[in-house]
Amino acid sequence: MTNLNNTDNLGSDIPVPEVVIQRLPLYVRVLMQFSSAGEKVISSEQLGTRLQMTPAQIRKDLSYFGRFGKQGRGYDVAMLERQLREILGLDRMWNAAVVGMGRLGRAVVSYPGFAPEGFKISAVFDTSNAIVGKTFSDLRVQSISQLTESVKELDIKIGIVTVPINHAQEVIDALVEAGIKSILNYAPLSPQVPEGVTVRGIDPVLSLQSMTYYIR
Amino acid sequence: MTNLNNTDNLGSDIPVPEVVIQRLPLYVRVLMQFSSAGEKVISSEQLGTRLQMTPAQIRKDLSYFGRFGKQGRGYDVAMLERQLREILGLDRMWNAAVVGMGRLGRAVVSYPGFAPEGFKISAVFDTSNAIVGKTFSDLRVQSISQLTESVKELDIKIGIVTVPINHAQEVIDALVEAGIKSILNYAPLSPQVPEGVTVRGIDPVLSLQSMTYYIR
């Protein structure tokens, strides 16, 4: 996994822990909320309160990428958001493919939250002949056999897996085979992928299961 | 936040980092997969491969809760799964309420994955008079004004927020007011909650944003 921060104008060559990378989008979101509220400067205390973290954790996370704020002066909201977006690669558009056009896949394709954040669903696939050829949200469903070709042609970098659990591993294998290195997996299984491929699961059950610890 | 592990027969009184708690459900899932495949014993190497972690990280995570395996002998799959379920409070049923019965709320209520894992949606709420009184998946939509009463009456411990972003904070405030300490939030905002309340967000955009770092 490419763990090194190599944004030219920012930071060092220390590998950044994955858990820090996973928090950065939350920082971006909170910064957007503060920005909408007209705030120009934010302290690590304010960030910490919103993210249920200590100010020290916030400062440590950000220190991986260089110096963003001045001691006791807080962070410039707009600048920190811009820099974190650059670090995360959110200063460009990314093409994604959805595999599995059942009820869940159609809901994902029609979700209005992706495009404003720079994620464009450019192609959709299914294994079933009954679904291939249909059109949802202006996208014609292609056969999974066309995956590799379309990934290259459309510069697709992200795969979104919305097939049932019993097909998920084979679909993930096909995405990896096609050169995809970032996979968003809605199937409730923990798939096997080679090194260098990142999978994030969307699974409400896992989230619920990690909360009951605190109330049992 | 209650961070202390106080399962009587297991482990110590060292506070367990939240990130460890969040990984335990993944362990449970992988153990189930191994169990289904007929495996009786699993090594930290095998667990690590499936979870994209090092064997040392696996052993460290589990060490917070006592000793589960013998050096060089691996873990008993069934026993480790049972113990982790007990630690996480997954050896019982939990009642949940869904607030927001638009398209997303209805999809959540009809999702078949919650009940088998011990999460029962016992009540559903909305703020709109146009929706209150309707029935979805055998649940009659109640007015949000009845929230506190129903939470007590039905022993509801988990709130699931499926309202639009502009109503999410007020709904989360109402859940907290009603005594809920575990909230699953589908709205794309980072809400403010008092200490002792845990919120987990389900947000595909955040997951996508934490992967582009590795491919930018």
User: Do B18-87 and B94-206 fold alike per CATH?
Assistant: no
Do B190 and A50 make contact, defined as CB atoms within 8 angstroms? Answer: yes
Please report, for residues A62, B170, B211, the alpha-carbon distance to residue A87 in angstroms, rounded to integers and kept in the order given.
11, 33, 11
A103 chain-B contacts, CB cut-off 8 A: 107
Neighbour tally for A124: CB within 10 Å: 28
For residues A166 and B188, give the distance between their C-alpha atoms in angstroms, rounded to a whole number.
30
Please report, for residues A141, A201, A216, B126, the alpha-carbon distance to residue B88 in angstroms, rounded to integers and kept in the order given.
41, 19, 7, 30
Ramachandran angles phi, psi of A192, nearest 5°: -95, 125
> What does the pLDDT look like over A58-100, one tens digit per residue?
999 999 998 777 667 899 999 999 999 999 999 999 999 999 9
> What does the pLDDT look like over A126-139, one tens digit per residue?
999 999 999 999 99
Distance from CA of A177 to the nearest CA of B (A): 16
Domain coordinates in residue numbering, chain A: 18-88, 94-206
For residues A24-49, one letter each, b for 16 or more C-beta atoms within 10 angstroms of the residue's C-beta and e for the rest, the string is: bbbbbbbbbbbeeeeeeebebebbbe
For residues B41 and B182, give the distance between their C-alpha atoms in angstroms, rounded to a whole number.
33
Specify the CATH number for A18-88; select among 1.10.10.10, 3.30.70.20, 1.20.120.10, 3.40.50.2300: 1.10.10.10
Q: Average pLDDT for residues A31-53, to the nearest whole number?
A: 92
Residue B13: per-residue pLDDT: 62
Do B51 and A190 make contact, defined as CB atoms within 8 angstroms? Answer: yes
Please report, for residues A25, A48, B119, B187, the alpha-carbon distance to residue A51 in angstroms, rounded to integers and kept in the order given.
11, 5, 26, 15
pLDDT per residue rounded down to tens, chain B (216 residues)? 333 333 443 445 678 998 899 999 999 999 999 999 999 999 999 999 888 889 999 999 999 998 777 667 899 999 999 999 999 999 999 999 999 999 889 989 988 889 999 999 999 999 999 999 999 999 999 999 999 999 999 999 999 999 999 999 999 999 999 999 999 999 999 899 999 999 999 999 999 999 999 998
Residue of B nearest to A189 (CA): B29
A157 chain-B contacts, CB cut-off 8 A: 212, 215
pTM score, two decimals?
0.83
Q: Is the pLDDT of residue A13 over 80?
A: no
Give the strand pairing for B41-42 and B75-76: antiparallel
What is the three-class DSSP state of B41?
strand
A209 chain-B contacts, CB cut-off 8 A: 24-25, 28, 88, 90, 117
Do B26 and A198 make contact, defined as CB atoms within 8 angstroms? Answer: no
For all residues of chain A together, what is the average pLDDT? 91
Residue B6: per-residue pLDDT: 39
Helix (H) or strand (E) segment spanning residue B205: helix B204-209
- Whether B108 contacts B186, CB under 8 Å: yes
Distance from CA of B92 to the nearest CA of A (A): 9
Q: Average pLDDT for residues A155-177, to the nearest whole number?
A: 97
For residues A183 and B209, give the distance between their C-alpha atoms in angstroms, rounded to a whole number.
12
CATH code for residues A94-206: 3.40.50.720
CATH code for residues B18-87: 1.10.10.10
- Whether B97 contacts A97, CB under 8 Å: no
For residues A138-160, one letter each, b for 16 or more C-beta atoms within 10 angstroms of the residue's C-beta and e for the rest, the string is: ebebbebeebeebbeeeebbbbb
Residue A5: per-residue pLDDT: 39
Q: Is the pLDDT of residue A8 over 60?
A: no
- Whether B10 contacts B83, CB under 8 Å: yes
B94 chain-A contacts, CB cut-off 8 A: 208, 212
> What does the pLDDT look like over A177-214, one tens digit per residue?
999 999 999 999 989 999 999 999 999 999 999 999 99
**Position B20: which residue type?**
V
Of all residues in chain A, the percent with pLDDT exceeding 90 is: 80
